[in-house]
């Protein structure tokens, strides 16, 4: 059923090769990946309703539909359009061997760097999520600072005197 190959220049003396798929013992890696993917997807979908409520409560009633349309437009413009392009560039940079098309142009990738490809894909996704999280924290701090009542100098002095006594 399987052919055996031997005496190949890239093999050590006495090593044998057979055709077919290689055995893979990566059940733990796949399980860990699916668990992380589930957790990330779960928390991403948890943010959808609060995000909608924040937008609707932040603007006057007559501008709510416009604000939702603007939010959708900006999301597509700054996230959904560039993301496939960015990840396509990342995947293309991990190609080890390209095929040649009939007119001597680069074709599709035959072999990817199996070690670096997942690391760069997940690394760049984590970097984008961290940037998003940092911007969200900054927005929260700015909003919290605007909503907190500012004390006059007399009120601050009164609070300091009461805390010292």
Taking the C-alpha atoms of residue 162 and residue 91, their distance in angstroms, rounded to an integer, is 63
Residue-wise pLDDT tens digits, 117-155: 988 988 898 898 888 888 878 877 887 777 666 656 666
Taking the C-alpha atoms of residue 160 and residue 153, their distance in angstroms, rounded to an integer, is 10
Residue-wise pLDDT tens digits, 47-89: 888 888 878 888 889 999 999 999 899 989 988 999 899 999 9
Region of 97 (left: φ > 0; alpha: ψ -120 to 50; beta: rest) is beta
Enter the DSSP assignment of 76.
I
pTM listed for this prediction: 0.57
Q: Is 46 helix (H, G, I), strand (E, B) or coil?
A: helix
Dmax over CA atoms of the chain, in Å, equals: 92
Please give the pLDDT value at position 157. 64
Taking the C-alpha atoms of residue 159 and residue 151, their distance in angstroms, rounded to an integer, is 10
Residue-wise pLDDT tens digits, 10-25: 666 666 666 766 676 7
């Amino acid at each position: 059923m399987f052919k055996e190959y031997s005496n190949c220049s890239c093999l050590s003396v006495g090593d044998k090769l057979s055709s077919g798929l290689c055995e893979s013992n990566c059940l733990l890696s796949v399980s860990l990946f699916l668990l992380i993917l589930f957790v990330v997807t779960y928390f991403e979908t948890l943010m959808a309703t609060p995000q909608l409520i924040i937008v609707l409560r932040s603007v006057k009633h007559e501008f709510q539909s416009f604000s939702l349309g603007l939010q959708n437009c900006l999301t597509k413009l700054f996230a959904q359009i560039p993301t496939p392009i960015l990840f396509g560039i990342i995947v293309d940079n991990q190609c080890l061997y390209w095929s040649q098309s009939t007119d001597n142009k680069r074709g599709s990738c035959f072999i990817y760097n199996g070690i670096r490809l997942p690391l760069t894909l997940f690394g760049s996704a984590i970097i984008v999520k961290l940037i998003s999280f940092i911007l969200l924290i900054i927005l929260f701090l700015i909003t919290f600072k605007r909503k907190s009542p500012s004390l006059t100098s007399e009120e601050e002095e009164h609070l300091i005197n009461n805390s010292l006594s």
